[in-house]
Homo-oligomer: A and B are copies of this chain.
Amino acid sequence: MRILGIFIFLILFTFSVANEDFNTHVVDKPLFDYFENNEPHMKRTLHLECTSWKFAVEANNLRPWKIIPQECADYVRKYITGGAYNMEIDRVSREAGAFALSMKLGEDGKDVWIFDVDETLLSNVPYYSQHGYGSEVSNSVEFDKWVEKGVARAIVSSLKLYQDVKSLGFKVFLLTERSERHRIVTVENLMNAGFQYWDKLILRGSEDHGKSATIYKSEKRNEMVQEGLRIAGNSGDQWSDLLGSSASIRYFKLPNLMYYIP
Contacts and interface: CB of A to CB of B under 8 A. Distances in A.
Interface in A43-60: 48-49, 51-53, 55-56, 58-60
Contact of A52 (B49, B88, B97, B253): B88
A19 to B, nearest CB: 9
Interface centre among A98, A167, A251, A253 (most CB of B within 10 A): A167
Contacts of A5: 167-169
B56 A59 contact: no
Contacts of A23: 94-95, 98
Contacts of A143: none
Contact of A167 (B8, B56, B169): B8
B84 A48 contact: yes
Nearest to A7: B167
A164 B91 CA distance: 38
Q: Is the interface of A mostly helix, strand, loop or mixed?
A: helix
Contact of A59 (B59, B87, B96, B169): B59
A51 B78 CA distance: 14
Nearest to A49: B87
Interface stretch (A9-17, A124-132, A209-217, A222-230): A9-17
A116 to B, nearest CB: 15
A92 interface: yes
A22 interface: yes
A62 to B, nearest CB: 6
B95 A56 contact: yes
Contact of A88 (B56, B60, B251): B56
Interface centre among A8, A88, A96, A101 (most CB of B within 10 A): A88
Interface string A6-42: 0011001100100000110000000000000000000
Given A22-B94, A92-B56, A83 B167 contact: no
A61 interface: yes
B83 A252 contact: no
A219 interface: no
Contacts of A168: 5, 9
Nearest to A8: B167
Nearest to A48: B87
Contacts of A59: 58-59, 92, 253, 255
